[in-house]
Amino acid sequence: MARKTPVSCDWSIGAALKGKKPHKENKSALYKHKGKFRWQGIKIEKYKQSSGGWADIARQTLIGNKGETAKFHLRYFEIVPGGHSSLETHKHEHVVICVRGKGKAIAGKKGHILNFLDTLYISPDTPHQLRNPFKSPFGFLCIVNAKRDKPKLLSA
């Protein structure tokens, strides 16, 4: 069965990967934590390729872009002090788990402070944004559907 191009937060990666061969096998893999919230074999990526209401945030895709057939993707995001994700909405859901520092999440009309291991479920079609108004990096794991729609950017 042929694999489809992996989905990415930046939505332009599909075009960039056209013509490249898909991964040959879906193999089990261990990505050893190297310390400082970095994993062996995992590259630090831009949050999104184009600008648009976000600042000072980076992404590492742990599961979801190496040929896995999982129905979810697992990413680690880190926002430096003063940074934030885009304010957006879409049809897919998120699970956000704080693993470094603390941050602020806006989900719908509610604001939440996330501390270590606090877990936030963001339902479909809920406007949301993650921010770091604090003095230390805010890092979180984010689980999303492998097949997902393109975000609709909202203005603050």
Show me where the domains of the chain are located: 13-153
pLDDT above 90 (res 77) = yes
pLDDT band at 15 (very low <50, low <70, confident <90, very high): very low
Higher model confidence: residue 8 or residue 106? 106
Is CATH 3.40.50.300 what the domain over 13-153 is classified as, yes or no?
no
- Max CA distance (Å), the chain: 48
State if pTM tops 0.85. no
Helix, coil or strand: residue 17:
helix
Nearest-5° Cα angle at 132, 59 to 155: 85
pLDDT at 4: 45
Q: Hey, which residues are catalytic here? A: 142
**Looking at residues 77-105, what average pLDDT do you find?**
96
